[in-house]
Amino acid sequence: MKIDIMTLFPGMINAVMRESIIGRAQDKGLVRVRAVNIRDWASDKHHKADDAPYGGGRGQVMLPEPLYRCHDALTRGEPVHTVLLSAQGAPFTQEKARQLLAKGRFILVCGHYEGIDQRFIDACVDEEISIGDFVLTGGEIPAMAVADAVCRMVPGVLPDEEAFTEESHWDGLLEHPHYTRPETWRGRAVPEVLLSGHHANIVRWRRKMSLLRTRRDRPDLYAAFRPRDKQDRKILAEIEQGT
């Protein structure tokens, strides 16, 4: 997996993506997340990458030419799927992460200030993605979130596939709660089923907790959920009956 992140602040990207699980995956050659400084493609001696907006208004707008030259240097005329991190974009989801994983390589563009010139978007961007209905100072944090979500699914990055297929949102549900030692902490005990050693009962309990948590915290996901087997249907019936 190869991800190029076009940014005005490569230090932000490198400080995070070279650490922990993703950093180790890069060291092993499983993924490559490269921060590329847009200013390196500015044409003036001051490496200017923004200017005042036409039509007036507050703030600065990122210039199209440095963005285009940076993008062109990365793609070398070949089509590479390009994503702009934008508050106007479609919501980022686990399904979108899987779609990006399947591409093998893509480019993330980080806006900053008041945004970037629309002409660059029209010329080079394939889609816009948002990580939520709020506004940040730049696209670097969303870009790292997208890169992390995709890279962790690359084979070998996590110990096994279950490390992500059993987590929240993989199959439209929130994940079940987790517990570790000690068995009793400040008067709160670990559920007995988790201490039973009975694997089938533990699996069923976790599935039920996942469904209950989703119904409580994300009723929109719960309403859209469809049972995958007979056991799911039985658990759903229990939940509806309050048992």
Helix H, strand E, coil C: the string for the chain is CEEEEEECCHHHHHHHHCCHHHHHHHHCCCCEEEEEEHHHHCCCCCCCCEECCCCCCCCCEECHHHHHHHHHHHHCCCCCCEEEEEEEEEECCHHHHHHHHHHCEEEEEECECCCECHHHHHHHCCEEEECCCCCCCECHHHHHHHHHHHHCCCCCCCCCCHHHHCCCCCCCCCCCCCCCCCCEECCEECCHHHHCCCHHHHHHHHHHHHHHHHHHHCHHHHHHCCCCCHHHHHHHHHHHHCC
The residue-averaged pLDDT of 200-212 equals 96
> CATH 1.10.1270.20 region(s) of the chain?
166-241
Predicted confidence at residue 45, as pLDDT, reads 86
**How far is 189 from 183, CA to CA, in rounded Å?**
6
Predicted confidence at residue 34, as pLDDT, reads 98
Q: Are strands 32-37 and 61-62 parallel, antiparallel or unpaired?
A: unpaired
Q: Which CATH number among 1.10.3470.10, 3.40.640.10, 1.10.1270.20, 4.10.640.10 corresponds to the domain 166-241?
A: 1.10.1270.20
Predicted confidence at residue 44, as pLDDT, reads 87
Q: What are 139-151's pLDDT values in tens digits?
A: 999 999 999 999 9
Which CATH superfamily includes the segment(s) 2-151?
SPOUT methyltransferase, trefoil knot domain (3.40.1280.10)
**How far is 105 from 4, CA to CA, in rounded Å?**
8
> CATH 3.40.1280.10 region(s) of the chain?
2-151
User: In the predicted model, what is the mean pLDDT of the chain?
Assistant: 94
Would you call the peptide bond into 79 cis, given omega within 30 degrees of 0 as the criterion? Answer: no
Q: What are 73-105's pLDDT values in tens digits?
A: 999 989 999 999 999 999 999 999 999 999 999
Q: What six digits make up the tokens of 15?
A: 């400080």
**How far is 185 from 195, CA to CA, in rounded Å?**
15
CB atoms within 10 A of CB 205: 18
